[in-house]
Structure 1
Amino acid sequence: MKPTTRGTLAAVLTCVAAAAGAAVATPAAAVGTVPVPVPLNGLENSLGMELPEVGGEVPLPTPGSPEGPRYAEGRLIPERAVPQLPVSAGLPGAGVRAPLPELLGSGFQHLGLDAPATDLRTLGPGLALDAPLTPPNPDNFGLPEPKLPQAGVLTPVLQAVPVANLGLGQGL
């Protein structure tokens, strides 16, 4: 086998191994939220009563890669001169379980509220500009013609679908 063939084969195998390693490592490294428990055990013992169990989830924001400028026909400056930066994170979650005394009986029921962390997709504001000149015009000996300049702000985007569950049940 020639050295160039061996080198090409080694490069291809290295790329395949790197891609397979990245595919395996991504789910382990992608932690979406961090649990935050609220310890109330000491207060429960000092007051001598049952207190609610409270916990939460804090999302970790992960910046994405911005979409590059797009060149359009008839413009000197590409669209999206300042691109929008995408950031994906989440809305914080909460979980609360509070004891409720039964009206007829000695046991406790609980009132539970679950609001899990939900995905949040954002795009930062961007900027679109156009120069006060047209592209070179062949009818005008290749010289550009003046025109009104254009500027625009690309609005930020927020997308989320929050969910919450409220319920009653036995025990705490």
Structure 2
Amino acid sequence: MKSTTRGTLAAVITGVAAAVGATATPAAAVDTVPVPVPLEGVEHSLNMELPKLGGEIPLLTPGVPEGPRYVEGRLIPDRVIPQLPVSGALPGAGLRAPLPHLLGDDFDHVGVDAPASDLRTLAPGLTLDAPLTPPNPDNFGLPEPKLPQVGLLAPVLRTVPGADLGTGPGL
């Protein structure tokens, strides 16, 4: 094989690898999936302008829970059932509707944009303690009875939703 043929083949393989890598990388980093609502066919059949509508569906990603922790003076570790963190987004929506312009044939629009907003959650968890104390050296190494303890770790939800309402020329 000639050196020019090898160089051309290497350039083609490099270009294909770069193109495949460029298309695969952004899809893995996306938190939401856009969902357009196709209304172009209805616009053409009715011969009028219809609203532009779209949405965003979130992709939830579970995180790594904190494992049980040893606490001095307890027989059972803290957080027996750990809280599972989940991150994602609230669904988003966008709508742009035409409004007839009062003084001419042009259209203005009114638009509502509610983008997907970050969402962080923690699932409920459980913590409990046995009805016995750790071994007591004053009692010949035997544990002493005590009241059992059970606690529920409350779920957590953190987000800041927002929306924009606006008007302007064109659709």
Hey, what's the Cα distance between the residues in 1 that align with 2:26 and 2:53? 28
Alignment of 1:33-112 (within 5 A): 33-112=32-111
Partner residue of 2:154? 155
Name the SS for the 1:139 alignment partner. Answer: helix
Distance 1:147 1:93, change over 3 A: same
Distance apart, 1:55 and its partner CA: 0.7
Supply the RMSD in Å over aligned alpha carbons. Answer: 1.5
Task: Kindly indicate whether residue 110 of structure 2 is the aligned counterpart of residue 114 of structure 1.
Answer: no
> Equivalent residue of 1:106, what SS?
coil
C-alpha displacement at 1:98, in angstroms? 0.4
| Structure 1 residue aligned with 2:30 | 31
> For 2:132 and 2:35, how far apart are their aligned partners in 1?
56
Q: Structure 2: how far apart are the matches of 1:164 and 1:103?
A: 27
> Given the two structures, how large is their TM-score scaled by the length of structure 2?
0.82
- For 1:66, give the aligned amino acid: P
Alignment coverage as a number of residue pairs: 148
Rounded to whole Å, the distance in 2 between the matches of 1:41 and 1:27 is 28
2:70 is paired with a residue of what secondary structure? coil
Q: Percent identity?
A: 76
Which structure 2 segments of 5+ residues have no match?
A: 1-23
1:7 equivalent in structure 2: none
SS, match of residue 71 in structure 2: coil
Output the amino acid matched with 1:34.
V
**Could you list the runs of 4 or more consecutive aligned residues of structure 1 that deviate by over 4 angstroms after TM superposition?**
25-28
Q: Deviations over 1:18-56 (max 9, x none)?
A: xxxxxxx98762221111000001111122211000011
2:10 corresponds to which residue?
none
